[in-house]
Structure 1
Amino acid sequence: MKIIAVIPARYASTRFPAKLMQDLCGKTVILRTYEAAVKTNLFDDVFVVTDSDLIFDEINVHGGKAIRSIKEHESGSDRIAEAVYDMDVDLVINVQGDEPFIDKKPLEELIQVFKHDLDKKIDLGSLMFEITDVAEINNPNNVKVITDQQGFALYFSRSVIPYPREEQAGVRYMKHIGIYAFRKEALLDFYRLPMLSLEASEKLEQLRYLEYGKRIKMVETNHGSIGIDTPEDLEKARKLIS
């Protein structure tokens, strides 16, 4: 099984423009993310795919591998699909460009799901972890996911799911971590299919897979992601490194 990591790197972030090119203790955020992905030694190759000449040059000048997007894209999945279209790969791992503190263990667990899926019943996999703080549960920036008894995603939402009409029911609230593992054919199917109403409403690309009947296996982890979405997050990351 040939496994690669692809880091979609869009320059114009809505909440924090140019965040991937911000200095993080001597290196840019995107370069630290790329180097962290390589350092896991889990992948046959690692690429950054970007719409930005600045990011493209930043990776190449430091000896990395970058791919320039040909088209404009609505989502990271679309950007990655274009990049890997002609590559001979089996599994594509989407690593978020704003997460320089990559944890190897949950990535290993995600890859193992596919190595054990001999019948190829899983189209893609992703990560989740439990949250208990009420403010975190209600925060629309935290995407929640609910699954069936086999761990396959039923729905993702920025809203509180499930709604706690009965507070003593004992439900767990799971936060989605935006790291994906795709079978190449599922990724290319996504690329060819138009956006539908659920994805358009929630602005969550993973809903396109569900709307078209793809099966998303969720892997629970204790390792929460540390992303950089705001200038405050960047300051926290600088303190963590120093």
Structure 2
Amino acid sequence: MSKKIPVTSIKSGHLTEAAPGIYQYTNQVVNLFFVCANAEKKSWVLIDAGMPESAEQIIEQAEKLFGKGVRPEAIYLTHGHFDHVGGLETLIKAWDVPVYAHPEEFPYLTGQLNYPEPDAKAGRGLVVKLSPLLFPHEGIDITGALQHLNKDHEVPHLPGWFWIHTPGHTPGHISFFHHASKTMIAGDALITVKQESLYNVLMQKKELDSPPDYLTQDKELAMQSVNIIKDMKPKLLLTGHGMPMKDFEFDDQLTNMVSDHDRSS
């Protein structure tokens, strides 16, 4: 994917250790994660692959963390939207590693389907109105690298981690949960910045939110996934957009979000 998207944030380029062995890298307006399998950083995986034309920056950050020429064991995708696979094809060529995704996401990752176009009428705000012009919806074809997730929900390259199907934003969206620490990498199933607001995106103002309507395929299913995350009782929430949040920051917001939806249903 080669179309550079002209949106960014004040956090772009920041690499932070969100939790021991979990490094969040903000690439323009999206987050991706370098997750270590052991304390010595001898093996690691990449979760998501950033914005278009971001592969060089991702490799640079990986080499800062793990050393020159060190590649991940695998790449795992929460889903296949442009801002989560933008550097993927180049990374596959550079690293020659497998890519894991949910089978319901495969049609968008094998050239069979494009995602629906962003809906400029789904909400207010400049980002919403400009979304069809700014954001590509085409799928990609990584057939040769694509692999199925474990049916037992374990993540073999990351002991103690499990994947959870959290559909709605896309059909095959998944999140990742570490039971011992109760850390949730939620992708876009739940985010910590209001994506509809250009100011909030630019400034990365921290606020819990459901996935943006203008890019969400099934809003009711997306709210069911929010409820799944709530029931897991995470203590640390890491998301595809926005800053890390701890449970004391988001618990009330998450409860209110689910309650407000239930009342309006």
Length-normalised TM-score, structure 1: 0.32
Report which of the two has the higher share of strand: 1
